[in-house]
Amino acid sequence: MEFKDYYKTLGIAREASADDIKKAYRRLARKYHPDVSKEADASARMAEVNEANAVLSDPEKRAAYDALGSGAAHAGGQDFRPPPHWDAGYEFTGTPGGGAGMDEAQFSDFFEQLFGRAAQARHGAGGARGGTSEGGTQRGADHHARIELALRDAYLGGERLLTLRGARLDAQGQLVQQERQVQVKIPKGVREGQLIRLSGQGGPGLGGAPAGDLFLEVEFQPDARWRTQDRDVYLSVPVAPWEAELGGPIEVQTPGGASVEVTVPARFKPGRKLRLKARGIPAATPGDLYLELQVVLPAAHTEAQQQAYRTLAKAFAGFAPRASQGV
Amino acid sequence: MADHSHPHVPSAAAEILGDAPCLSAQDLAQACRMQVSWVTERLSAGLLQGELQAGRWRCSGAALVRARRLAQFETTFDADPELAALTTDLIEEVAQLRQQLRRLQARLGSLN
């Protein structure tokens, strides 16, 4: 386990006042806020900052942490093990994780071992605030993550193998990290931005209490061919110039993989959409599928094909494609 | 679709939290690591959307995402609830605009 120098993380001296800690934390929270930061590792840095603040802003945790010694004393990449009973005499009365609004699932092994559920179990769960019952039980924390799905999954449902990082307490009350896999059946009809709840797949409960839930926020994989708006799906459909102008049947593959025959009306109009009712994302009231026609010009590779374009030009001698630009 | 099932891996039941008010104030409080009273105050003030059904608040999945943002702004910056809500409104607006921009860029890319 790597020693975490929380003072270094927040960029403050060990003698920093509570006000200094708060200012440093807010400055970094603004810098690495996942919704606004352009830093590539913003989420990971934000988790580090939250973790450091969760310890240093809590006088009890800070005092216990300071008693471990300075970061320099544990530097050099050595494996860090807290001394036995290192926290004897300290009473952690806060929540085991980062407190209100924080997601402890992202905190490090170092934090978990010293201040997380292992610490809480050593101290006896009954003393903590934040939802612990008198009987020493506490429901596990909810965890949150994002999941990227294909639009096809929304049409047909799908399965995903998730690897979840979890923890359990061993016989000595030490925290043991473990990874586990869980297979999730994605229900069809899911839309972008929606949440999927996996009951009981969050953090473990204490004292026999149930585990928390895992919430997955759905994002669709970007695809130039389509976009969604609520349950409606807009599909870009390339058509040849003669199909666009003369009309007629064309075959279209829906995002769900089905092939449908659609009749394109004659006389193409830019921006025209063809609606296929109830062919959008499935639901009790399914969305519609809108086909946005895009005229695609074939490249003239052979002499015969080039001659065809010349013939076309003669047939449309009066056509002025740039008339709107005054040319 | 292809069968991606893994016979030795346990399955988890997945539930879509859609537009229907399927979550309680307690669910939101648990997800935000805040008190239930914190949630109900913001529901009553209209900073979070919910429905009162037989005296109990019920919320959609979208309300849970918004509640987590509100909680984060309030706890991180000691923000006034109205200010946290305004910031959350702006973040939601920016997210929608970014999404539209990505789609437009994708469409432009497909035309070139």
* Residue B95 in this model has a pLDDT that exceeds 50: yes
Residues B67-82: what's their mean pLDDT? 93
* Residue A169 in this model has a pLDDT that exceeds 80: no
Q: Judging by DSSP bridges, how do beta strands A273-276 and A289-295 pair with one another?
A: antiparallel
* Residue A39 in this model has a pLDDT that exceeds 60: yes
Instruction: Give per-residue burial for A287-326: e unless 16+ CB within 10 Å, then b.
Output: bbbbbebeeeeeeeeeeeeeeeeeeeeeeeeeeeeeeeee
- CA A53 to CA A16: how far, in whole Å? 12
Q: Which residues does B88 contact at the CB level (< 8 Å), separation at least 6?
A: B66, B69, B70, B73
- CA A138 to CA A181: how far, in whole Å? 24
Whether A34 and chain B come into contact, CB under 8 Å, resolves to no
* Residue A80 in this model has a pLDDT that exceeds 60: yes
- CA B99 to CA A5: how far, in whole Å? 38
B5 pLDDT band, cuts 50/70/90, is low
* Residue B107 in this model has a pLDDT that exceeds 80: no
Structure tokens at A316: 């449309």
| Stated pTM of the model | 0.74
Q: Is the pLDDT higher at A324 or at A266?
A: A266
pLDDT digits (tens, 9 = 90+) for A236-271: 999 999 999 999 999 999 998 999 999 999 998 888
Using a CB-CB cut-off of 8 Å, the residues of chain B touching A29 are 76-77
Provide the pLDDT for residue A128. 31
Residues A49-57: what's their mean pLDDT? 90
Q: What DSSP element (H or E) covers A113?
A: helix A109-115
A126 pLDDT band, cuts 50/70/90, is very low
A96 pLDDT band, cuts 50/70/90, is very low
pLDDT digits (tens, 9 = 90+) for A264-287: 999 988 888 999 999 999 999 999
Burial of A85 (0-12, 13-18, 19+ CB in 10 A): exposed
Cβ distance of A100 and B109 shorter than 8 Å: no
Provide the pLDDT for residue A78. 59
Cβ distance of B95 and A36 shorter than 8 Å: no
Residue position matching structure tokens 């494996």? A79
Provide the pLDDT for residue A73. 61
Q: Judging by DSSP bridges, how do beta strands B14-17 and A289-295 pair with one another?
A: unpaired
Q: Is the pLDDT higher at A146 or at A243?
A: A243
Number of Cα atoms under 13 Å in the Cβ half of residue B21: 13
Q: Number of Cβ pairs closer than 8 Å across A and B? A: 133
Residues 154-213 of A with CB under 8 A from B: 156-162, 181-187, 189-191, 193-201, 212-213
Q: What is the residue-wise DSSP string for B13-82?
A: -EEEE-SS--EEHHHHHHHHT--HHHHHHHHHTTSS--EEETTEEEE-HHHHHHHHHHHHHHHHH---HH
- CA B89 to CA A7: how far, in whole Å? 33
- CA A83 to CA A87: how far, in whole Å? 9
Most A CBs within 10 Å, among B42, B72, B90, B100, to test the A interface: B72
* Residue A37 in this model has a pLDDT that exceeds 70: yes
A88 pLDDT band, cuts 50/70/90, is low
* Residue A125 in this model has a pLDDT that exceeds 50: no
* Residue B43 in this model has a pLDDT that exceeds 70: yes
Residues A38-64: what's their mean pLDDT? 86
Residues A204-227: what's their mean pLDDT? 86
Cβ distance of A101 and B4 shorter than 8 Å: no
Residues A209-231: what's their mean pLDDT? 88
Instruction: Give per-residue burial for A87-111: e unless 16+ CB within 10 Å, then b.
Output: beeeebebbbbbbbbbbbbbbebbb
Residues 101-120 of A with CB under 8 A from B: 101-103
Neighbour tally for B24: CB within 10 Å: 17
Most confident of the ranges A46-55, A68-77, B61-70? B61-70
* Residue B60 in this model has a pLDDT that exceeds 50: yes
- CA A32 to CA A28: how far, in whole Å? 6
Q: Judging by DSSP bridges, how do beta strands B56-59 and B51-53 pair with one another?
A: antiparallel
* Backbone CA torsion sign across A163, A167, A171, A174: positive
- CA A61 to CA A94: how far, in whole Å? 9
Q: Is the ipTM of this structure higher than 0.95?
A: no
Residue position matching structure tokens 């590792």? A41
A139 pLDDT band, cuts 50/70/90, is confident
Cβ distance of A195 and B76 shorter than 8 Å: no
Query: Where is average pLDDT lowest: A107-111, A222-226, B60-64, B87-91?
Result: A107-111
Structure tokens at A304: 């015969």
